[in-house]
């Protein structure tokens, strides 16, 4: 008898709540294929439809599952508050020990935390956050020219037209 269970691979979505006000709805399922096409928003009877056509057969993303927009960026899920807190404690220890080794240690700890932080993929249009999806196609890091175009449209100073297919497998921004 062979036993080959696929390991649990949690995916997580942080979606803007339809009520607005910066509230988020978090959905968590066992892998990208366990998602249903719609959910009720918590504490309301508003249906939140997911754009599951933006999910590739491999579990990657060609666009935002919340609004369907084709431009996404990848960033590290780094806890900035913790990062600053470590530096803050180190600064106090400088006063206690009268040397700077604690600051060096804090920098190293922050660097390690940053390098092991998981990636998350964010929508330029609605800011929905996607975690745990397939790594292909890859969406590059944040590009200010895309944000400008979506915010200001024609009036954008640095705006460039959207690339065909959005940000899927696009090169990293040069700026």
Candidates 18-26, 65-73, 74-82, 96-104: pick the segment binding Zn ion (CB under 5 A): 65-73
Task: Write phi, then psi, for 71 (nearest 5 degrees).
Answer: -115, 120
- The answer to whether the beta carbons of residues 70 and 62 sit under 8 Å apart is yes
| C-alpha span between 89 and 4 (Å, rounded) | 46
* The binder of Zn ion chosen from 55, 66, 139, 149 (CB under 5 A): 66
DSSP run (H or E) holding 28: strand 24-30
* The binder of Zn ion chosen from 27, 41, 52, 67 (CB under 5 A): 67
- 24 is a site residue for Zn ion (CB under 5 A): no
Residue with Cβ nearer Zn ion (127 or 169): 127
Least CB distance from residue 63 to Zn ion, whole Å?
A: 8
Candidates 10-18, 38-46, 64-72, 87-95: pick the segment binding Zn ion (CB under 5 A): 64-72
Binding mask 117-156 for Zn ion (x = CB under 5 A): ------x-xx-x----------------------------
DSSP 29: E
Least CB distance from residue 73 to Zn ion, whole Å?
A: 11
| C-alpha span between 45 and 19 (Å, rounded) | 11
Buried b (16+ CB within 10 A) or exposed e, 101-117: ebeeebeeebeeeeeee
Q: Which residues bind Zn ion (CB under 5 A)?
A: 64, 66-67, 69, 123, 125-126, 128
């Amino acid at each position: 008898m062979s036993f080959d269970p696929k390991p649990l691979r949690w995916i997580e979505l942080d979606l803007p709540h339809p009520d607005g006000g910066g509230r988020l709805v978090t959905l968590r399922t066992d892998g990208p294929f366990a998602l249903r096409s719609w959910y009720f928003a918590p504490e309301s009877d508003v249906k939140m439809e997911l754009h599951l056509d933006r999910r590739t057969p491999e579990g990657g993303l060609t666009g935002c599952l919340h609004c369907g927009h084709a431009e996404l960026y990848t960033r590290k899920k780094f806890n900035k508050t913790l990062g600053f807190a470590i530096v803050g404690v180190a600064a106090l220890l400088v006063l206690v020990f009268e040397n700077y080794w604690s600051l060096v240690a804090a920098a190293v700890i922050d660097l390690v935390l940053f390098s092991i932080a998981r990636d998350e993929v964010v929508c330029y249009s609605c800011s929905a956050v996607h975690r745990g999806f397939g790594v292909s196609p890859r969406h590059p890091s944040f590009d200010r020219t895309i944000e400008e175009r979506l915010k200001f449209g024609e009036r954008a100073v640095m705006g460039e037209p959207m690339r065909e297919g959005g940000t899927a497998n696009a090169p990293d921004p040069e700026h």
